[in-house]
Amino acid sequence: MTETMIAVIGGSGIYDIDGLENATWTKVDTPWGDPSDEILTGMLNGVKMAFLPRHGRGHKHSPTTVPYRANIDALKRLGATDVISVSACGSFREEMAPGDFVVVDQFIDRTFAREKSFFGTGCVAHVSVAHPTCPRLSDACETAGKAAGIKMHRGGTYLAMEGPQFSTLAESKMYRESWGCDVIGMTNMPEAKLAREAELCYASIAMITDYDSWHPDHGEVDVTQIIQTLMGNADKGRDLVKRLPDLLGADRQDCPHGCDKALEYAILTAPEARDPAVVAKLDAVAGRVLNT
């Protein structure tokens, strides 16, 4: 049994957690560079919490320049056990309307300009992301959202695009009609993959702001309308987060789905062939298996 630390990675519009006791902004150094910002830590209802603004306070980072590896490493280094991503997304489904939240369970990764793994030459590893989110953590997010009065949709495929531009009409129709995607965003990849490599449970909450560009009655994405919806969604998102400590508790059992053992058989490089410099950089994310 370990001590729970819930880490929230807040997307556009969410820059803090209400009600944190002993709230402190902490700078965390990582071998992957600086995280997006300092990390806000504290206690909420007897449970350790950490909050990281994905784009940095003031929205400094574009989706492409977010330092995803540093962010996940920093959270793991602080002792995070459960990571909840909260992000603004467009919807490909009429019933997933602006203001609704979707508990994502699958991804299609269309990003191309980002580092996507902690591993590589000198220490090779392959983790499974067949089921990239944690059902236990997703259950808690769904329950918290419903208790907060949010219209929640359980399950959905998130199309991760590079951005920063929004989709063309042709792309939007393809993602919706041919690929069967449900929501579209720019930030959950490679974040979810890196969380799996770091043996962290990960859940994704998509806060719907718009219908992308496929909807015949809404036309192209309007940033002004997105911001208006985003502000309301941010309040809902904070309400959801505040309910998580009571659902997850301070004492944490092993993940029943094996998220916290994802590296058990993933590292292929023989111990004598591993690059010491690479291994040193992996001390936080993979120390459990590399140091045994």
- For 95-125, what is each residue's pLDDT tens digit? 999 999 999 999 999 999 999 999 999 999 9
Q: Are 136 and 101 in contact (CB under 8 A)?
A: no
Q: Please write the tens of the pLDDT for every residue from 17-46.
A: 778 999 999 999 999 999 999 999 999 999
Q: Is 105 annotated as a binding residue?
A: no
Span 196-222, average pLDDT: 87
Strands 106-109 and 157-160, bridge-based pairing: parallel
Rounded distance between C-alpha atoms, residue 9 and residue 37, angstroms:
11
The overall pTM is greater than 0.85: yes
Q: What is the pLDDT of residue 232?
A: 74
Give the N- to C-terminal CA distance of the chain in Å, as an integer: 19
Number of compact structural domains in the chain: 1
The pLDDT of residue 290 is 95
Task: Show the domain range for 196.
Answer: 2-290
By three-state DSSP, how is residue 212 classified? coil
What pLDDT is stored for residue 13 in this prediction? 65
Q: pLDDT band at 223, cuts 50/70/90?
A: low
The string of pLDDT tens digits covering residues 122-175 is 999 999 999 999 999 999 999 999 999 999 999 999 999 999 999 999 999 999
Q: Is 12 annotated as a binding residue?
A: yes
Mean pLDDT of 286-291: 95
Q: What is the pLDDT of residue 221?
A: 60
Write the pLDDT tens digit of every residue in 244-270: 999 999 999 999 999 999 999 999 999
* Ordered alpha helix ranges (H), the chain: 68-78, 135-147, 169-173, 191-197, 223-242, 244-248, 276-281, 283-290
Pick from 200, 225, 203, 180: which is nearest to 81 by CA?
A: 200
CATH number, domain containing residue 81: 3.40.50.1580
Measure CA 61 to chain center. Answer: 16
pLDDT of residue 230: 73
pLDDT band at 222 (very low <50, low <70, confident <90, very high): low
Q: Is there a binding annotation on residue 55?
A: yes
Structure tokens at 255: 């993940």
Q: Assign 113 to helix, strand or coil.
A: coil
Q: Tokens in use for 87?
A: 């992000």
Instruction: Write out pLDDT tens, residues 60-93.
Output: 999 999 999 999 999 999 999 999 999 999 999 9
Q: Kindly list the catalytic residues.
A: 210, 212
pLDDT of residue 218: 67
